[in-house]
Amino acid sequence: MQTSTTKRAFLKSAAAVAAMQGAFLRSPALAAGPMSDAEKWTHAMAALGPRITCGPAHRKWINFLADTASSLKLEVTRYPVPVRYWEATAWSLDVTDGAGKVTEIPVASYVPYAGETSAEGITAALTDLGVGAADNYTGKDVAGKIVLVDKIFPGDRSTKDYIGPLIATYPPGLDTSRLSLVGRPASGGGNNISALIAMAKQHGAAAAIVVLDLPPDAAARQFTPHQQREISFPALSLDRVQGARLRALMAAGPVSAKLVLQAKRDDGAMVDYVVAKLPGNGKYKGAVCLLTHTDGQNAIEENGGPAMLAIARHFSAIPAAQRDRDLLLIFSACHMKNLSEQTDPQTFLKRMQPAIGDSIAMIFTIEHLGGKEWLVSPDKSRYAATGERDMWILGMSDNVVLKTIALEELKKRNFTKLLVTLPPRNLYGEGTQTKNDYPSVAAFADGEHLLQLWNDDKSATDLIDFAFMNQQVAFFTDLTGRYLSAPSF
């Protein structure tokens, strides 16, 4: 049986915490010692294991962010928001053929926030519904059965299907055609998992098995609640290899399956937004707000928090008289939740804490720093790091001040595979809901590895190029300084 991967101890020793909070008063990328602040804090975060929304690891990380911001002399306030806590603890799939032979099928992952089962699970006949569309159910009685359905992904898609209108590329003249989204199926498209299992539930099925058209290493531990609706219907996922194996067993005769998905849950849980303020001299009204979220699957999703703390440390060492605007850090509480459940930044700023929302002049969303490129091979047989830095995007409002400052700062750097765009069509990360309410900038990347649950700090070294991350943090620090000094937006 496969068990939850979130049981990892936090680094509790006072010495370790003190080391992570040592004084580094220079620019983050030039910090003394073998590691930058951002790198140290990323390792501390990753050591917690996956930060399932409202779970123990998530709460420890929120406490760390709040305590570290306080140690930097920021004014820290915590705002509890409601959230449904659900964390899988055990899952498995066994199938029995007509001869009574039992075969354990390795499970890639589970559908997050799906309806859990008892320890005994659900045992029922297995039926294949292909892509699981409405017409696949015609003439088939699936009541009480476990259905097998396919999650398909789009083929080759160019960047024009993904990003917003280009402002610039780095290096200049970058051939964006070579940045096609082959190997990035998690970017979107295809049939929706929520729709697949909702259709199965509508027809009276007892549970579902979703075959992800991905190689094993890419399908493993995928955790995508923010891309799915709440269905309350138990569902597990398989990679394409195990899906083919299961179908081969079914081709030989009737097969029944035992599906187990156990979970802890608390439908009335609360989790904290953290807001940290570094006051300026009051010369200009409206704060520059840095925004990210605190829950996440691994060291790159989401390492915006360590980056924001590093930026805050830099500016906390500068006298307030030299900071013309307030700097506001907002750590959102529940990005890895379905939209119907999460308290998104727009709701938080406009409805729950309008005084904070009204105090903001612009928002800079920071996510997914230092990414190494991981791609699925064209034949979908392999998934691996390419050895290159990942493509990343700096999306921003159609705002002269934001664009001018960003492009001036970028001319001083030598970034590669960077696309500067107007708001991307299909992705803007945690800043999605705020991009129409504030002048905004969002830095992010994409890919399967962002959404995979990783056990521990190994994800930091496997997923992150820290030299790249440090360069981004230094750039974001200088960009933030320019925005703090901008008379208006």
Q: Break the chain into its structural domains and give their ranges.
A: 2-84+268-484, 85-163+181-266
Mean pLDDT of all residues in 49-58:
96
More confident residue, 227 or 108: 108
- Predicted confidence at residue 162, as pLDDT, reads 57
Q: pLDDT confidence of 23, banded at 50, 70, 90?
A: very low
Bridge partners, 82 (sequence order): 270
- Predicted confidence at residue 61, as pLDDT, reads 98
Say whether 489 sits in a helix, a strand or coil: coil
- Predicted confidence at residue 389, as pLDDT, reads 93
Say whether 454 sits in a helix, a strand or coil: coil
Is pLDDT at 240 greater than 70 in this prediction? yes
341-377 tens-digit pLDDT: 889 999 999 999 999 999 999 999 999 999 999 888 8
Q: What percentage of the chain carries pLDDT values higher than 70? A: 87
Cis before 56 (ω within 30)? no
Instruction: Please give the Cα distance from 380 to 400 (Å, whole number).
Output: 42
Distances (CA, A) of 276 to 72, 204, 369, 389: 10, 49, 21, 31
Specify the amino acid at residue 392: W
Element containing residue 289 per DSSP (H, E): strand 287-293
* Sign of the Cα pseudo-torsion (394, 397, 402, 407, in order): positive
Q: How many residues does the chain have?
A: 489
Cβ-defined contacts of 10-19 (< 8 Å, 24+): 10/47, 10/48, 10/57, 10/60, 11/44, 11/47, 16/44
Number of Cβ atoms within 10 Å of the Cβ of 140: 13
Q: What percentage of the chain carries pLDDT values higher than 90? A: 71
- Predicted confidence at residue 341, as pLDDT, reads 82
58-86 tens-digit pLDDT: 999 999 999 999 999 999 999 999 999 99
Residues 6+ apart with CB under 8 A from 178: none
**Which CATH code, of 3.40.462.40, 3.10.105.10, 2.60.40.10, 3.40.630.10, is assigned to 2-84+268-484?**
3.40.630.10
Is pLDDT at 24 greater than 50 in this prediction? no
Distances (CA, A) of 296 to 55, 65, 184, 226, 358: 11, 14, 19, 11, 28
Is pLDDT at 19 greater than 90 in this prediction? no
Q: Which residue in 162, 342, 150 sits closest to 238, CA to CA?
A: 150
pTM (2 decimals)?
Answer: 0.90
Say whether 260 sits in a helix, a strand or coil: strand
Is pLDDT at 408 greater than 90 in this prediction? yes
- What DSSP string describes 361-376? EEEEEE--TTBEEEEE
Instruction: Please give the Cα distance from 228 to 237 (Å, whole number).
Output: 14
Number of Cβ atoms within 10 Å of the Cβ of 75: 13
176-195 tens-digit pLDDT: 766 655 445 554 556 789 89
Mean pLDDT of all residues in 23-32:
35
CA angle 302, 288, 292 (to 5 degrees): 10
Say whether 148 sits in a helix, a strand or coil: strand
Residue with tokens 């056990």: 455
Element containing residue 387 per DSSP (H, E): strand 383-389
Instruction: Please give the Cα distance from 322 to 320 (Å, whole number).
Output: 5
Mean pLDDT of all residues in 456-476:
90
Q: Are 301 and 368 in contact (CB under 8 A)?
A: yes
- When mean pLDDT is compared across 234-248, 285-299, 429-443, 463-477, the lowest value belongs to 429-443
Can you name the CATH fold of 85-163+181-266? Glucose Oxidase; domain 1 (3.50.30)
Instruction: Please give the Cα distance from 388 to 446 (Å, whole number).
Output: 14
Mean pLDDT of all residues in 102-110:
97
Mean pLDDT of all residues in 414-420:
92
